[in-house]
C-alpha cells in the first residue's frame, strides 16, 4: 500500500558536508551550502518519515568513516534513518545500530564476503540490514553488480546476489543503476518492475536518477517500497511534500 513512507529523502556526506557525486565519481562532486542536520530536519518538517544517509568518506576509506557524526545526526532526528558507506565489519554494524540507526546498508562487503554477511543477518536480524546492489546493465540487458564505489565489476548478477541471501531471510534491497545516478534524468523503471515481479516478498528501494515528479510518477508502475531522492531535493526541483503527494496520487502499480 502506498504511503508517505515510500519517499525516502537522502543526503551524501563528505567530512560532514552535504555533497553529491555524479555517477559515483569523487572527482565530479558538488558541495551544497547547507547544514546536514538542518537539511534533514527540513525534510522531516516537509513530511519525510524515512531518511537515508550515505557516508562517502567511509565508502572510499573505511578508516575515515563518519560514525560519530552520523550518530549525532540520528540522535537529533525524529524519524528512522538508514545509513551505509564503509561498513566492513560486525563491529561497524553494531556501532551504527547502537548509535540509533534503524537499518545498516551493506554494499561491497556483501559481495566480497557473503559468508560473513550471512552471519550478520542471523545475528542482527534481516529487518535491520539492507542489501545494496549497485549495478550496470550489460549487453544482454542483465543487471550485473559493481562494487568499490562502482569501480570494480563483480562476477555476480543482481539475481544471483539476491538469491544467495534469501536463505538468511533477506527483506530489504536497495538497487541502483549506476548509469542513472546523479543525472536527474529518471530511474530505470524496468529494473524495478523486474525486481518487484521476481521477488514480491522483498521490499525494494529504488535509487538514482530521480529528477522530476514525472520520474516519481513513472515508478507507480512498480511495487517499490521506497524511492530514495537526494540531488533533486537539494536543488529544489520539488519538495518532499510534493513528492509524497505525487506518489500518493499516481496510478496504482500494475
The residues that are catalytic are: 12, 134
**Dist CA 227 CA 129 (whole Å):** 17
**Dist CA 152 CA 139 (whole Å):** 17
Q: Which three cell numbers, joined as nine digits, stand for 244? A: 509524497
Cβ-contact 181, 188 below 8 angstroms? no
Q: What Å distances lie between residue 220 and 209, 213, 217, 236, CA to CA?
A: 15, 11, 5, 22
Cβ-contact 226, 175 below 8 angstroms? no
**Dist CA 11 CA 39 (whole Å):** 9
93: number of Cβ within 10 Å: 21
Q: Which three cell numbers, joined as nine digits, stand for 109? A: 562487503
Q: Which three cell numbers, joined as nine digits, stand for 174? A: 536497495
Give 3-state DSSP helix, strand, coil % of the chain, rounded to 5: 40, 25, 35
Residue that has been written with the C-alpha cell 560532514 in this structure: 16
Amino acid at each position: 500500500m502506498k504511503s508517505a513512507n515510500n519517499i525516502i529523502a537522502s543526503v551524501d556526506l563528505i567530512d560532514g558536508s552535504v555533497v553529491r557525486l555524479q555517477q559515483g565519481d569523487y572527482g565530479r562532486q558538488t558541495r551544497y551550502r547547507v547544514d546536514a542536520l538542518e537539511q534533514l530536519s527540513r525534510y522531516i518538517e516537509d513530511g519525510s518519515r524515512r531518511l537515508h544517509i550515505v557516508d562517502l568518506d567511509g565508502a572510499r576509506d573505511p578508516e575515515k568513516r563518519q560514525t560519530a557524526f552520523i550518530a549525532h545526526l540520528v540522535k537529533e532526528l525524529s524519524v528512522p534513518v538508514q545509513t551505509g558507506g564503509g561498513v566492513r565489519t560486525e563491529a561497524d554494524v553494531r556501532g551504527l545500530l547502537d548509535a540509533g540507526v534503524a537499518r545498516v546498508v551493506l554494499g561491497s562487503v556483501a559481495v566480497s564476503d557473503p559468508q560473513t554477511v550471512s552471519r550478520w543477518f542471523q545475528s542482527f536480524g534481516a529487518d535491520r540490514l539492507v542489501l545494496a546492489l549497485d549495478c550496470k546493465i550489460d549487453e544482454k540487458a542483465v543487471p550485473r553488480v559493481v562494487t568499490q564505489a562502482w569501480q570494480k565489476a563483480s562476477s555476480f548478477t543482481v539475481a544471483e546476489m539476491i538469491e544467495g541471501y534469501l536463505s538468511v531471510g533477506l527483506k530489504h534491497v536497495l538497487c541502483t543503476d549506476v548509469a542513472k545516478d546523479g543525472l536527474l534524468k529518471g530511474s530505470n523503471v524496468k529494473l524495478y518492475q523486474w525486481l518487484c515481479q521476481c521477488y514480491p516478498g522483498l521490499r525494494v528501494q529504488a535509487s538514482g536518477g530521480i529528477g522530476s515528479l514525472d520520474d516519481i510518477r513513472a515508478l507507480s508502475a512498480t511495487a517499490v517500497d521506497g524511492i530514495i531522492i537526494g540531488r533533486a531535493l537539494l536543488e529544489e526541483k520539488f519538495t518532499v511534500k510534493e513528492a509524497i503527494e505525487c506518489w500518493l496520487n499516481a496510478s496504482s502499480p500494475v
